[in-house]
Amino acid sequence: QTVVTQEPSLTVSPGGTVTLTCGSSTGAFTSVHYPNWFQQKPGQAPRALIYSTSNKHSWTPARFSGSLLGGKAALTLSGVQPEDEAEYYCLVYYDGAWVFGGGTKLTVL
């Protein structure tokens, strides 16, 4: 089974831009892996942000965007807000199963 890797932690300044990535130990991710992205804050259930690589939910703030970059799924936050401090997880469909990345703890400082 593939191992899905994310940056363990990232720090960004308010108003800045940051890109989180989601890679595979066995090859490139493409649209057929249907990357989903979630935000989770302490004590809360995960909140869906992006599905099928780049599609936003009705509640997803415009500053969040999803893409594929160099064989990895990517989540970009443009104009980061203090409330974006959270953990972010990607979820990909691989070989008939879903696999989460290890998560990225995003600090806004």
Partner 1 sequence: QVQLVESGAEVKKPGASVKVSCKASGYTFTDYFVHWVRRAPGQGLEWMGCVNPYSGATNYAQKFRGRVTMTRDTSISTTYMELSSLRSDDTAVYYCARELGVVVAARKFDYWGQGTLVTVSS
Of 42, 70, 82, 96, which one interacts with partner 1 (CB under 8 A)? 96
Is 101 a binding residue for partner 1 by CB under 8 A? The answer is yes
Instruction: Quote the CA–CA distance of 66 and 31 in Å, as a whole number.
Output: 11
Q: Which of 40, 65, 67, 76 binds partner 1 (CB under 8 A)?
A: 40
- Residue 39 CB, nearest distance to partner 1 (Å)? 11
Decide if residue 99 touches partner 1 (CB under 8 A): yes
Q: Is 100 in the site for partner 1 (CB under 8 A)?
A: yes
Question: b/e per residue, 34-66, with b = 16+ CB within 10 A?
Answer: bbbbbbeeeeeebeebbbebbebeeebeeebbb
Cα-Cα end-to-end distance for the chain: 36
Minimum distance, C-beta of residue 6 to partner 1, in the bound complex (Å):
9
Q: Is 98 in the site for partner 1 (CB under 8 A)?
A: yes
Contact 101, 7 (CB under 8 A): no
Judged by CB under 8 A, does residue 56 bind partner 1? Answer: no
